[in-house]
Amino acid sequence: MEINIKNADTNAVVEVSGDVDMSNSPRLREALLKVMRDGHGSMVVVSLEQVEYVDSSGIASLVEGLQEARKRKVSFRLAGLNDGPRHVLELTRLIDVFDVYPSQAEALQA
């Protein structure tokens, strides 16, 4: 899994690529919390367009990011869900808890 963080004045984009599982989900969690701590703008977009697989530990990292964002009144958005991650979010009934956008560009524009 690779994580690329792009900070702008009003938002931060966390681009994730590769599978997210127990071996690397703590890194995703740390990245999301760091973005929030560093306080770049009022929006964090997690781009998952290059992610085909997320397990429950990855979902937990996203939930923790969402919780931290709510505390800080930051808009936390998921973008570009492929079938695998979408299916896991649907099974865990979290798909409606997150703000989900078809693409990174649409998440930033909305």
Partner 1 sequence: MIDEVEITIASHPRWLRMARSLVEIFCREYQGDAATVRAIVLAVDESLANVMKHAYGGNQSRPIRVICRCDGSEVTIEICDDGREFNPFAQAVPPPDEMRLGGRGIFLISSVMDECEYLREDGWNRIRLIKRLPLSLAVS
- Asked if residue 93 binds partner 1 (CB under 8 A), the reply is yes
Which residue stretch of 5-13, 32-40, 72-80, 93-101 sits at the interface with partner 1 (rule: CB under 8 A)?
A: 93-101
Give the phi and the psi of residue 8 in degrees, each rounded to 5. -125, 180
* Number of helices and strands in the chain (H, E): 4, 5
- Determine the 3-state secondary structure of 4 from DSSP: strand
The contact mask relative to partner 1 for 13-32 (x = CB under 8 A, - = no) is ------x-xxx---------
**For residues 57 and 103, which CB has a smaller minimum distance to partner 1 in the complex?**
57
The Cα-based distances of 94 to 12, 57, 88 in angstroms read 22, 14, 9
Q: Which one of residues 50, 63, 99, 103 is an interface residue with partner 1 (CB under 8 A)?
A: 63
Q: In the complex, what is the shortest distance from the CB of residue 3 to partner 1, in angstroms, rounded to a whole number?
A: 17
3-state secondary structure of 17: strand
- Asked whether position 35 contacts partner 1 by CB under 8 A, the answer is no
The Cα–Cα gap between 17 and 110 comes to 23
- Summarize as ranges the residues that interact with partner 1 (CB under 8 A): 19, 21-23, 53, 55-57, 59-60, 63-64, 66-67, 83-84, 87-88, 91-94, 97
